[in-house]
């Protein structure tokens, strides 16, 4: 009797660990997808444009315009660059004092704008540029159209790749969990058929197997989340200066997603496995 209990306990442990390992992969995928938006926004926030102001405009008027701009939804942040500061930056890049050669500073003051991610595309920038040029203080709006297009195109491609990879991994995960639970149900196939032959309803037969499988999925998902959260914690120490991986909302979403996947995939796998044996006759169970 003790030997049977040990084998059953061992079978349950193996099933739970197997599901947990599969769910770790699911969790990694969920974490990447949830953070893809954050990374995309981080990249897009570095896209900006320069509002070149006319030479005869005084600094007070420019700063007044800057404050108005900061109330606009497309502005994440702004910096005023005076003629003098622009000259200093240009000298550092050029490595020479161009003012000595020219005899004057030809650069114009500007307001450097960093965009909110939602507006970091050429269509939005074209409308923003058109609106800004109506301002009598503005001489020119400068931004790199090719860079904006490249960033958005790369974000789109990465999103498509992640979605395809996600669909494939979910299918693989479902198959692996189904096979794990199917092995657990396989040893009980004769009991399932016997219960059916004496008149037990499919729901009554399936219920204990589904309950056990749901528990496998739940405990497996909790173990998977423990592995994932530990890995993310140590990974944060390595890349913390680039991206915030310890975003509480995203981590909660990942944990909930992994638990939901563990329970749902285990439920479906158990139900399909039991239904498979209910639809077979007694002779087929020996094959």
Q: What pLDDT score was predicted for residue 287?
A: 57
Q: What pLDDT, in 10s, does the model give residues 228-240?
A: 999 888 888 776 5
Q: What pLDDT score was predicted for residue 279?
A: 65
Q: Is 143 left (phi over 0), alpha (psi -120 to 50) or beta?
A: beta
Statement: residue 250 has pLDDT above 80: yes
* Selection from 211, 221, 229 nearest residue 177 by Cα: 221
In a 3-state reduction of DSSP, which class is residue 110? strand
Q: What pLDDT, in 10s, does the model give residues 78-119?
A: 888 887 887 777 777 666 766 666 666 777 888 888 888 888
Q: What pLDDT score was predicted for residue 83?
A: 79
Count Cβ atoms within 10 A of the Cβ of residue 97 and give its class: 0-12 exposed, 13-18 middle, 19 or more buried.
Answer: exposed
Statement: residue 251 has pLDDT above 80: yes
Q: What pLDDT score was predicted for residue 101?
A: 66
Alpha carbon 241 to its chain centroid, in Å, reads 18
- Contact in structure between 185 and 277 (CB atoms under 8 Å): yes
Statement: residue 133 has pLDDT above 70: yes
Domains of the chain: 2-42+151-286 (no CATH), 48-142 (3.30.70.3040)
Q: In what order do the strands lie in the sheet with 75-81?
A: 75-81, 110-115, 48-53, 138-142
Mean of the pLDDT values across residues 135-139? Answer: 86
Count Cβ atoms within 10 A of the Cβ of residue 253 and give its class: 0-12 exposed, 13-18 middle, 19 or more buried.
Answer: middle
Q: How many Cα atoms sit within 13 Å of 247 on the Cβ side? A: 15
- Contact in structure between 25 and 106 (CB atoms under 8 Å): no
Contacts with 42 (C-beta within 8 Å, 6 or more apart), sequence order: 242, 243
Q: What pLDDT, in 10s, does the model give residues 1-58?
A: 344 344 444 555 676 777 788 888 888 888 888 777 777 777 777 778 888 888 888 8
Q: What pLDDT score was predicted for residue 93?
A: 67
For the full predicted model, state whether its pTM sits above 0.85: no
User: What separation in angstroms does the CA of 215 have from each of 20, 212, 218, 221, 236?
Assistant: 12, 5, 5, 10, 31
Residue burial 14-36, b: 16+ Cβ < 10 Å; e: rest = ebbbbbbebbbebbbbbbebbbe
User: What separation in angstroms does the CA of 118 have from each of 71, 75, 131?
Assistant: 16, 10, 17
Higher pLDDT, 63 or 46: 63
Count Cβ atoms within 10 A of the Cβ of residue 281 and give its class: 0-12 exposed, 13-18 middle, 19 or more buried.
Answer: exposed
Statement: residue 216 has pLDDT above 50: yes
Q: How many Cα atoms sit within 13 Å of 259 on the Cβ side? A: 11
Helix/strand/coil (H/E/C) assignment for every residue in 179-243? HHHHHHHHCCHHHHHHHHHCCCCHHHHHHHHHHHHHHHHHHHHHHHHHHHHHHHHHHHHHHCCCC
Backbone angles phi, psi at 48, to 5 degrees: -155, -175
User: What separation in angstroms does the CA of 231 have from each of 24, 27, 28, 39, 223?
Assistant: 11, 11, 10, 19, 13
């Amino acid at each position: 009797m003790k030997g049977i209990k040990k084998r059953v306990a061992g079978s349950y442990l193996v099933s739970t660990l197997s599901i947990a390992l599969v769910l770790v992969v699911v969790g990694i995928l969920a974490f990447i997808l949830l953070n893809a938006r954050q990374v995309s926004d981080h990249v897009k926030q570095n896209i900006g444009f320069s509002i070149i102001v006319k030479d005869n405009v005084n600094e007070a008027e420019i700063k007044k315009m800057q404050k108005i701009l900061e109330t606009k939804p497309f502005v994440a942040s702004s910096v005023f660059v005076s003629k003098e500061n622009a000259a200093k930056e240009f000298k550092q890049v050029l490595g020479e004092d161009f003012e000595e050669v020219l005899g004057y500073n030809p650069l114009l003051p500007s307001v450097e704008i960093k965009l909110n991610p939602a507006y970091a595309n050429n269509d939005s920038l074209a409308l923003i540029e058109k609106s800004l040029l109506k301002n009598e203080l503005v001489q020119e709006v400068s931004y790199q159209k090719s860079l904006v297009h490249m960033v958005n195109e790369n974000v789109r491609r990465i999103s498509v790749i992640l979605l395809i990879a996600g669909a494939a991994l979910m299918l693989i995960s479902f198959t692996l969990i189904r096979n794990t639970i199917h092995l657990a149900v396989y040893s009980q196939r004769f009991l399932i058929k016997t219960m059916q032959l004496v008149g037990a309803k499919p729901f009554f037969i399936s219920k204990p197997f589904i309950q056990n499988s749901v528990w496998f999925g739940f405990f497996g998902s909790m173990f998977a989340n423990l592995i994932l959260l530990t890995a993310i914690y140590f990974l944060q120490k390595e890349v913390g200066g680039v991206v915030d991986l310890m975003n509480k909302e995203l981590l909660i979403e990942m944990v909930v997603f992994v638990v939901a996947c563990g329970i749902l995939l285990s439920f479906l796998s158990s139900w399909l496995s039991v239904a498979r044996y209910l639809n077979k006759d007694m002779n087929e169970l020996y094959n």
